[in-house]
Structure 1
Amino acid sequence: MRLDIISIFPEYFAPLDVSLIGKARERGTLDVRVHQLRDWAHDVHKTVDDTPYGGGPGMVMKPEVWGDAIDTVIGTATPNGAAPAPGSGTAPAPSFGPDFGASTGASAGPSTTATAGAAAGPSTGASAGPSTTAPAGAATGPSTGVGATASAGAGTAADAATAVTPTRVTPTRAVPRMIVPTPSGRPFTQELAQELAGEPWLLFACGRYEGIDSRVMEDYSTRLRVDEVSLGDYVLAGGEVAVLVMVEAIGRLLPGVLGNAQSAVDDSFAPGSMRNLVEGPVYTKPPVWRGHEVPPVLLSGHHGKVARWRRDEALRRTVRNRPELASELEPETLDKHDRKLLEELSFRVGRKDVAN
């Protein structure tokens, strides 16, 4: 699987080089490429935002910068910019700190701040963003085959008045599914993580400030599958943390990433028996710690009783901590024992008591 991430803070993604995701990258299971958005800015200050139309607080991320960045990453171009040449040049990849990776050297184009094996990007010269070096052990993957974008000049009003309306170039190869983290998006769930894990290529657009100009999502939704996704009912400073969460949730579901594939099957929210349930408590050795004993059934060796206990505890914990999930349980998925337990917990599923 290939993942492209566009952000003004590439250094946020250093954790993707450690643990299970880092090992998946080393093996080539996961090809992660991080791109510095400011490399596509049109002015010397590398500006990526402007004041919102209609007034109000905060700043909105500029559509033309995002458009140039996304077009380059997915290998499309407009008449106002040079068409990408597959395999042109070598881009430096992102720096996550002085000891994190080694520089691959300067490139002839703006850096796509990518992992090893990434393709070249458009040239911008000096950048206000972090330096671009590659994390060690990054996975290699298909070249993005990008060239330079049209970024000369500061985009004055006169320029805008005489600009030629771009004619979209239809990609002649595969395109990614685009994910935009935003509090106003659809909920990111285990079910969605499973769905995204089946995609060959994902592109994450990390917004900041008041978000990305909505025309960016409108425009790309005509050519790509675009999903606006939310982690929950709260607001973060930017999309980077949300993307870290999503990449780990998706990446661990890829074949061979987890040491034991059954671990994903038994996860909270996993499709099947754990749908709309959270996982119950877990225990390891010693059997007694500070006077707290492991439930005897887990030491019994009786697989049927252990499975029943785990199911019961999942139901108990879901009712206690996530009643809104428990209310989504389908009555036909509940056996007689489930129904009796939920009756004891005085919990109603849907509009009628499950005991009925």
Structure 2
Amino acid sequence: MRFDVVTLFPDLFAPFLTQGITRRAYESGQVDVKLWNLRDHAEGTYRRVDDRPFGGGPGMVMLAEPLERALGAVASARADAGALAGPVVLFTPTGRRIDQALVREWAGGPGATLLCGRYEGIDQRVIDRHVDVELSLGDFVLSGGELPALTLLDAIARLMPGVLGDEQSHLQDSFEQGLLDCPHYSRPELLATPEGELPVPPVLLSGHHRDIARWRREQSLALTARRRPDLIAAARAAGRLTKADEKFLASLDSGTL
């Protein structure tokens, strides 16, 4: 899949694409990322890409014409390379919140053109003409679309074959089964602290795989019920909770556990 990123700050992406385990997805070409500097498509001595908003008010608005030229160049390059057009994505607080279901869907798609806005936003005429999807990280405001773009790329890259050390790793992640992940422990078995030694839960040392799986499931259910009850409700509505799950959740509610 191919992602074309239109940004004023392409240098922000280079270290990210060459570091960490997800670099395997970029180096292998499974996730092909092309960076486009918006200023290369601006005119004039200063390559200006923003101006004051009509109607007055604070801040600046990204100009339509450089964005039009950049998106046209991206579309031509994708066509010349034989890549599917894919959607044009704008990162904005007004967009759909990125979640694991969206990431899984996009991990099997052709990629997209990622448009990273700045300032007060981009000229609405560009959105009306070109943008197919608006996405958001959450209910807060960032300085630009670069961090959401990097977040989406990372989430997709880690789902590519051969990227994670264990092909099953991502299946246990938070949200993959509609719940939060369970706690994890490693060496040493006893952690020395000023308050005393902290042990690993004995079930994890037992070697009984069924007991371990059930403990992890219950820990996941308990954590999700405590921190994200909306996910429990969604899992229940989707029929993803077993009778054993419901019995455990009932014990939490009654305080009998």
Do the two structures share a fold, i.e. TM-score over 0.5? yes
Aligned to 1:124: none
1:142-181 aligned within 5 A: 145=80, 174-181=84-91
Aligned to 2:10: 10
1:239-278 aligned within 5 A: 239-270=145-176, 274-275=177-178, 277-278=179-180
Aligned to 1:236: 142
CA shift, 1:305, in A, is: 1.1
Q: Does 1:35 align with 2:36?
A: yes
CA shift, 1:173, in A, is: 6.7
CA shift, 1:197, in A, is: 0.8
RMSD: 2.0
Q: Does 1:205 align with 2:107?
A: no
Change (3 A) 1:32 1:173: closer
State TM-score, norm by structure 2.
Answer: 0.90
Partners in 1 of 2:221 and 2:83 — Cα distance? 47
SS at 1:328 equivalent: helix
Bigger CA radius of gyration: 1
1:84-123 aligned within 5 A: none
User: Which amino acid is the alignment partner of residue 246 of structure 2?
Assistant: R
Partners in 2 of 1:173 and 1:327 — Cα distance? 40
Aligned to 2:47: 46
> Which range moved further: 316-325 or 235-244?
316-325
**Contact persistence 2:98–2:135 (CA under 8 A):** yes
User: Which amino acid is the alignment partner of residue 269 of structure 1?
Assistant: F
CA shift, 1:343, in A, is: 1.9
Aligned to 2:231: 325
Partners in 1 of 2:92 and 2:40 — Cα distance? 23
2:248 corresponds to which of 332, 341, 344: 341
Aligned to 1:351: none
Change (3 A) 1:55 1:346: farther
Partners in 1 of 2:98 and 2:112 — Cα distance? 15
Aligned to 1:288: 190
Partners in 1 of 2:75 and 2:113 — Cα distance? 9
CA shift, 1:181, in A, is: 1.0
1:129-148 aligned within 5 A: 145=80
**Contact persistence 2:180–2:223 (CA under 8 A):** yes
Partners in 2 of 1:254 and 1:23 — Cα distance? 9
| Deviation readout 1:105-151 (Å, 9 max, x if unpaired) | xxxxxxxxxxxxxx7xxxxxxxxxxxxxxxxxxxxxxx7759xxxxx
State TM-score, norm by structure 1.
Answer: 0.66
Q: Does 1:279 align with 2:181?
A: yes
CA shift, 1:267, in A, is: 1.2
Structure 1 regions of 5+ residues with no counterpart?
Answer: 76-118, 120-142, 147-171, 348-356
SS at 1:315 equivalent: helix
**Contact persistence 1:184–1:230 (CA under 8 A):** yes
SS at 1:255 equivalent: coil
Change (3 A) 1:255 1:173: closer
CA shift, 1:314, in A, is: 0.6
CA shift, 1:313, in A, is: 0.6
CA shift, 1:206, in A, is: 0.4
Aligned to 1:219: 129
Change (3 A) 1:25 1:173: closer
**Contact persistence 1:180–1:206 (CA under 8 A):** yes
Change (3 A) 1:44 1:284: same
SS at 1:19 equivalent: coil
SS at 1:210 equivalent: coil
**Contact persistence 1:206–1:239 (CA under 8 A):** yes
Query: Of Structure 1 and Structure 2, which has the larger fraction of its residues in helix?
Result: 2
SS at 1:346 equivalent: helix
User: Which amino acid is the alignment partner of residue 33 of structure 2?
Assistant: V
| Deviation readout 1:153-191 (Å, 9 max, x if unpaired) | xxxxxxxxxxxxxxxxxxx97312222111110010000
**Contact persistence 1:74–1:176 (CA under 8 A):** no
SS at 1:329 equivalent: helix
Structure 2 regions of 5+ residues with no counterpart?
Answer: none
User: Which amino acid is the alignment partner of residue 285 of structure 1?
Assistant: R
User: Which amino acid is the alignment partner of residue 48 of structure 2?
Assistant: T
